[in-house]
Structure 1
Amino acid sequence: MKTLKRLSLAVVILLSGSWGLYVLMFKPEPVVLAEARPMPADADISSLYGLEQGPHAVAVIPEMTLTTPDGPLMLTAFYPESAGSFPLLLFSHGNFSDRRAYDRIIDHWVSHGYVVLAPDHLDAGGMLNGILAMTRYGQDGVMKQRPRDLVNILDGLDQLAAQSAQLDRRIDRSRVAATGHSFGAFTAQMLGGADAAVPGADSRLRDFDARIQAVVAISPPGPMFDMIDEQSWQNMTVPQLVTTGTWDVEARFFRDWRLHAMSYERGAKGLNNLLVTEGADHYFGNLICRLEREAEPQEQALLMANAVSLAFLDAQLKDNLQAREFLASNTLSTATGGFAQLSQR
């Protein structure tokens, strides 16, 4: 069985061309992580906005199938069990991950009164499936389809309503945000106006959707794939929150964590928020995206991301004054002893 897996992997490497060879064969020098400031043992963070789980129990529809112009799309729906109408969040997973690898973030949002719809993109299901998708559709094909999946969900809400009246009753279609992690963070940003170069062409990939009112980008990429470049965020026209950490590095692509903050720096002034957490890596240890990692879970860093992202969403989609004041204040840095810091520009 192991021999078969190795053979299959070798075939995929050969078929996937230079990108697959680079990802799977190239072994760069490891990044030396800078010392990270821990949260003080006596830090009192109990009063931070949105830190605790919310009042709503979380209901999950594990599998829904949406018929779209691009083919069937599998997704999971999360919604509050409580009666009411709640803002809608679209969630895009990271490269080679899947829609159920982010429950630790999604459940927090839903418990505070949000509906989340999370699809599996073409590259879902692990590295092997992801590279096969890249081989079949090309990097630009996968990148183009990802935001289309989110748009197809918005266009297909009536179809989902026919599958679940409980879900439909809880979606407020007038309040919508795009969210995501890593490659999925850029997917979300594309719906807010970000774009990507197409190798060998003068055109750029764009999929702006006017229904999107805010973007949460968890560890978004900097320049990558010869497609995401320094110009990719200059046309974003919706408010966004970018999150990263001082250990958010990857030896092949992002040797400096600050590259993940490029979309914050390059986006239009007045619309950008940035959370930086000391010692937070791309996966909060093993809490999101790659749950199989043998890494120490970064529970405190995830708490920061959950609290700040909730405050941002409440400010943008619920017009919550307390949330806006929290984002604009120095409360987070003071309470955590500099462990987590918020910036706005």
Structure 2
Amino acid sequence: MITHHTTGLTGPAPSVTVSVKPLVLSAPQRGEDLHVRVTAPTTGTNLPVVLFAHGFGSNLDGYAPLIDHWAAGGFVVVQATHLDSKRLDLPADDPRRPRMWRYRVQDMRCILDELPTLEAAVPGLSGRMDRSRVVAAGHSFGGQTAGILVGLRVTDPQTGAVEDLSDARVMASIQLATAGKGDDELTPFAHEHLPWLRDQDFSHVTAPGLVVAGDKDDLPLTTRGADWTTDPYTLSHGDKSLLTVLGGEHFLGGISGYQVAETTDEDPGRVALVQQVTLAYLRHVTGVDHTDWRQAEAVLTDNHPLGHLVSK
């Protein structure tokens, strides 16, 4: 076990990892092939899988601080470049734009369908992936994507329909700095530009989940303030945990990349906290090991300087 003195938490000794990209999956319904990156440890068997959805505008190369840490901790991590990525630069009038949120969920389903293909495409990975243990994770817009896979219901802004788009192959979720319920708590900007946030129903989410929220995440999307991002915890059911990152803004110290300009609250301690708690949760919820999670629950009480952890 490795001890991280800034957080007081421990974790497994990191493994060597390999990352392969782009693995290209045919996805005719989205109008672009789906480009995927797989990062995995070079050793170990029965490796659980994390499907990670990036935030608005990012791509399959983002979030290295999390992806590297999870893979080094024993997980196969799969990332895609979704249609909202700046790399694809869809025109403002592209007819797919209002359905971005839905295409993301389809991307994840495509990946789930093609996990055997992806496993075979990564040198040395064949036969080592446990496709029965899949956790969906995501940051910001990606947190909604992960949430939908475990039962979050979104009112389609074009049709007004509310559908269950969950996928039984996903056993749990991690939602980082993710939107809360819509309604009258959205700003006019969010109502206009992110209509898929207008009506979110968390009441059908019963799968286990970890929600990570920064207590200084004052998004321009809501009139409510930072605790809006705790809604995925407070409004859902089942076994849920909430990590509150003290002083954390939307990028939680810098999880979206090493030294990226968009990080407004750069703090290696904050990033280490998110890395360690999310990995401990992944190991716990997939049944790999419960020790680090129990330790996190014991250490991250109200008097910890970086954050606190509660469960229900």
TM-score by length of 1: 0.78
Report if the CA contact (8 A) 2:64-2:255 is conserved. no
- Output aligned runs, 1:251-266, within 5 Å: 251-253=220-222, 256-266=225-235
Q: Distance in 1 between matches of 2:51 and 2:158?
A: 31
TM-aligned CA deviation for residue 62 of structure 1? 2.6
Can you give the 5+ residue segments of structure 1 that lack an aligned partner in the other structure? 1-42
2:262 partner SS: coil
Task: State whether structure 2 residue 243 is matched by structure 1 residue 275.
Answer: yes
| Structure with more helix by fraction | 1
SS at match of 2:33: strand
Change (3 A) 1:134 1:248: farther
Structure 1 pair 178–291 and aligned structure 2 pair: CA distance change class (3 A): same
Which residue does the alignment assign to 1:168?
126
CA pair 275-102 structure 1, distance change in 2 beyond 3 A: same
Note if 1:291 corresponds to 2:260: yes
Deviates more, 1:167-176 or 1:198-207: 198-207
Distance change (3 Å), C-alpha of 1:256 and 1:322: same
1:76 matches 2:34: no
User: What is the 5 A alignment of 1:59-98?
Assistant: 59-70=18-29, 71-98=32-59
Q: Does 1:341 align with 2:308?
A: yes
Measured against aligned partners, the alpha-carbon deviations of 1:88-119 in whole angstroms (never above 9, x if no partner) come to 11010001111212011111111110000100
1:102 paired residue number: 63
Query: Is residue 154 from structure 1 mapped to residue 122 from structure 2 by the alignment?
Result: no
> Structure 1 residues 63, 44: CA separation in 2 closer, same or farther (over 3 Å shift)?
closer
2:124 alignment partner, SS class = helix
Q: Corresponding residue for 2:203?
A: 234
Paired with 1:296 and 1:264, the residues of 2 have a C-alpha distance of 23
Superposed, which structure 2 residues align to 1:306-317 within 5 Å? Answer: 306-317=275-286
Is the contact made by 1:333 and 1:339 (CA closer than 8 Å) also made in structure 2? no
Q: 1:234 to 1:114 in 2, by over 3 A?
A: same
Q: Which moved more, 1:312-321 or 1:250-259?
A: 250-259
Moved more, 208-217 or 218-227: 218-227
Decide whether the 8 Å contact of 1:64 with 1:76 is kept in 2: yes
Q: 1:66 to 1:200 in 2, by over 3 A?
A: closer
Give the CA deviation at 1:164.
Answer: 3.0
Deviating 4+ runs (over 6 angstroms): none
Post-superposition Cα deviations, 1:280-303, rounded to whole Å, max 9, x if no partner, equal 111134441692337452211111
Instruction: Work out the CA distance in 2 between the residues paired with 1:301 and 1:81.
Output: 28
Contact 1:311 1:326 in 2 (8 A): no
Instruction: Give CA deviations for 1:20-73 in whole Å, capped at 9, x if unaligned.
Output: xxxxxxxxxxxxxxxxxxxxxxx95564143xx742012111311112353521
1:325 to 283, 291, 294: 294
Distance in 2 of aligned mates of 1:147 and 1:161: 20
The answer to whether the 8 A contact 1:121-1:146 is kept is: yes
Q: Percent identity?
A: 26
**1:200 and 1:125 mapped to 2: Cα distance?**
23
Q: SS in structure 2 opposite 1:169?
A: coil
Q: Where in structure 2 are there 5+ consecutive unaligned residues?
A: 183-189
Alignment RMSD, CA only?
A: 2.5
CA distance 1:254–1:86, shift in 2 (3 Å): farther
8 Å contact kept, 1:133–1:142: no
Of structures 1 and 2, the one with the larger relative CO (CA 8 A, separation 6+) is 1
Report the Cα distance in structure 2 between the residues aligned to 1:254 and 1:325, rounded to whole angstroms.
35
Q: Kindly state the Cα deviation for residue 304 of structure 1 after the two structures are TM-superposed.
A: 1.1
Q: Which amino acid is the alignment partner of residue 248 of structure 1?
A: D
Tell me the distance in 1 between the aligned counterparts of 2:288 and 2:19.
26
- Quote the residue 2:95 is aligned against: 136
Distance 2:95 2:158 in 1: 18
TM-score (norm. length: structure 2): 0.85
Q: Distance in 1 between matches of 2:311 and 2:179?
A: 19
- Per the alignment, do residues 256 and 280 of structure 1 end up closer, same or farther by CA in structure 2, a change over 3 Å counting? same
Q: Cα–Cα, structure 1 residues 54 and 111, in superposed 2: closer, same or farther, change >3 Å?
A: farther
Cα distance, 1:216–1:254 mapped onto 2, change above 3 Å: farther
Mean alpha-carbon deviation: is it higher for 170-179 or for 287-296? 287-296
Change (3 A) 1:301 1:46: closer
Shift of 1:272: 1.1
Q: Aligned letter for 2:279?
A: L
**CA distance in 2 between partners of 1:300 and 1:134 (Å):** 42
Q: 1:337 and 1:157 mapped to 2: Cα distance?
A: 39
8 A Cα contact 1:185 1:216, kept in partner: yes
Contact 2:52 / 2:137 at 8 angstroms: preserved in 1? yes
